Amino acid sequence: MAEQFPDNPEFEPLSRTQVLIAMGVTAIVLFLIARLWMQFGSVTLLSFQWSGLAVLQGLGLGVVITAASSVVYYTWPAYRQSADYYLELVLKPLVWPDLIWLGLLPGLSEELLFRGVMLPAFGLDNEGLVLSSLCFGVLHLSSLKQWPYVVWATVIGGTLGAGAIATGNLLVPIVAHISTNLISSSLWKWGKRNPNKG
């Protein structure tokens, strides 16, 4: 199995249980950081308003992000290699129903922290958008060799943040993040299930 990760021959693939535990622990840590920041930083959470329009805006943004990610994946070899490493690490051990957790846990916890708390704390302006997006990108750093994945995650963080600022509704980036994770991970799993395709 080590041949799947040529840049790190001593790498041992994670098990499904390890990936699920890591996702759960990460989500809890991010929720706690957001909660503590709100309590001790006197930060007001970005507004969350449930509406059909916000859900549609989030879904639309998620589809745009997924399409852009596909274009970047096929046109930037360094990103493709970085993304494949990350996807092999996280997605390969998971079974299809686990993709729901892959959509929900990061989509909720990361959006709560980065767009719900951090963005208002830094400012609902260009400076706040850049700072929160950089922090979001760094969260996705697994090694220095994965810098292209971090660059793209930073761009995605900026896109999600722009959606939050434009709508004033945290539901939009939450739905966008969840739908992006679900669509992208499903497409990747489907592609690996049918290796003759693409």
Please state which of the ranges 81-95, 124-138, 165-179 shows the lowest mean pLDDT. Answer: 81-95
If you compute the radius of gyration of the chain from its CA atoms, what whole number of angstroms results? 17
* Environment class of 9 (CB within 10 Å of its CB; exposed 0-12, middle 13-18, buried 19+): exposed
Cα–chain center distance at 9: 26
pLDDT for residue 4: 43
CB-based contact 33:113 (threshold 8 Å): yes
Looking at the chain, the whole-number percentage of residues with pLDDT higher than 90 is: 76
Predicted local confidence at residue 88, as pLDDT: 87
CA 76 to CA 84: how far, in whole Å?
12
Mean pLDDT for 141-154 is 89
Residue 196 has pLDDT above 90, yes or no: no
Candidate ranges 12-21, 86-95, 147-156; pick with highest mean pLDDT? 147-156
Q: What is the mean pLDDT of residues 73-95?
A: 91
Q: How far apart are CA 55 and CA 97, in angstroms?
A: 22
The rounded distance, in Å, linking the Cα atoms of 54 and 111 is 15
Mean pLDDT of the chain: 90
Q: Which residue has the higher pLDDT, 83 or 29?
A: 29
Asked if pLDDT for residue 187 goes beyond 80, the answer is yes
Residue 12, pLDDT above cutoff 80: no
